[in-house]
Amino acid sequence: MGEFGELLRNARAYRGVSLHDAERATRISRRYLAALEQEAFEHLPPLTYARGIVRIYAQYLGLDPVAVLAKFEDAHGQRSLGFRVVPSARTVQEPLMHWAPNFAVIAFMLAISAIVFALVYTTYLAPRETVGPPSLASTSEPAAPPSTTTPGSTPTTAEIGTPSPPAGVSSQPSPTLENPTSPVHATAPASPTPPPASQAPAPAATPSTRTEHVFEIVVVGRVWVQATVDGQTVVAEVLDAGARRVFRGSTMTVSSGNAPLVRVLVDGEDRGPLGQRWDDTASYP
């Protein structure tokens, strides 16, 4: 009997059940269960159904189905001498085909391309005549009034008129300084606006700290134990009396087929037996 069959047999023995009890609970024929424990894989159904039987039986015995299925496939592969390599089929070379251009198809494609180009050009690219707005009639400036001066006479100031100031310039006279020798008082520059107060930086988020504990499993009798630390399986085997296992992590979950024989210590503190039942599970701390 190999390691796989011994694991199933020991787990069933520590659970205190017979093949008849296992058959009634799992609804799997005891012939298949006995074949698994004896590693008589030739008595099992096809491999696809055998994997399902192994998974259900491992869950019933309180074992890790993934680990047990891996041991089963390892043992089954060694018994069946692994997989048979099938030689690849010989490639068949196809005869080369000589390509000849089809001028009728080429001429048809050119005609279609010309039609499409003409449609696109006339729809989107052809220049269009733009009709501009009607031109505004030019406004003629009013004619200057006729001059009343006689030839040879000098025009007076009233006749000439005062020249009008250019647009944008006030016609009022500019004020004069009463005392040109007095110094010009410079206006004080406006005080600069103080910059806005800088906002206080947001406090940095403090990273969450995880408390690490020291877990110790002490076995007082031969028993099957499975433990996971922070979601990872660290032990799943049958331990002898007096065996100790020490792990570090935040949380630990322990399962056993005979819980009174398993004691758990957290940071050196004895938490007592795992449980009072045959099959029990507890999480720490």
One digit per residue, the tens of pLDDT, for the chain of length 285 reads: 578 888 888 889 888 899 899 899 899 998 998 888 888 888 888 988 999 999 998 999 999 999 999 999 888 875 544 444 344 445 555 555 556 678 899 999 999 999 999 988 888 876 666 555 555 444 444 455 544 444 444 444 434 444 444 454 444 444 444 444 444 344 444 455 555 544 555 555 454 567 899 999 998 989 888 999 998 999 899 889 899 999 999 999 989 888 898 999 999 899 889 888 878 899 998
Residues comprising the chain, all counted: 285
Contact between 119 and 126 (Cβ < 8 Å): no
Phi, psi of 201 (to 5 degrees): -65, 145
Q: Which letter does DSSP use for residue 38 in this model? A: T
At 224 the pLDDT is 86
What's the CATH code, domain 3-79?
Answer: 1.10.260.40
Q: How far apart are CA 197 and CA 68, in angstroms?
A: 67
Tens digits of per-residue pLDDT, 88-134?
445 555 555 556 678 899 999 999 999 999 988 888 876 666 555 55
User: Following CA atoms 263, 267, 269, 272 in sequence, which dihedral angle do they give, to the nearest 10 degrees?
Assistant: -20
List the chain domain ranges. 3-79, 213-284
Q: Say whether 215 sits in a helix, a strand or coil.
A: strand
Q: What's the pTM?
A: 0.30
Q: How far apart are CA 50 and CA 73, in angstroms?
A: 10
Residues with Cβ within 8 Å of 4's Cβ and at least 6 positions away in sequence, in order, are 36, 39, 68, 71, 72, 74, 75
Pairing label, strands 262-266, 252-256: unpaired
Q: Which letter does DSSP use for residue 167 in this model? A: T
Contact between 55 and 32 (Cβ < 8 Å): no
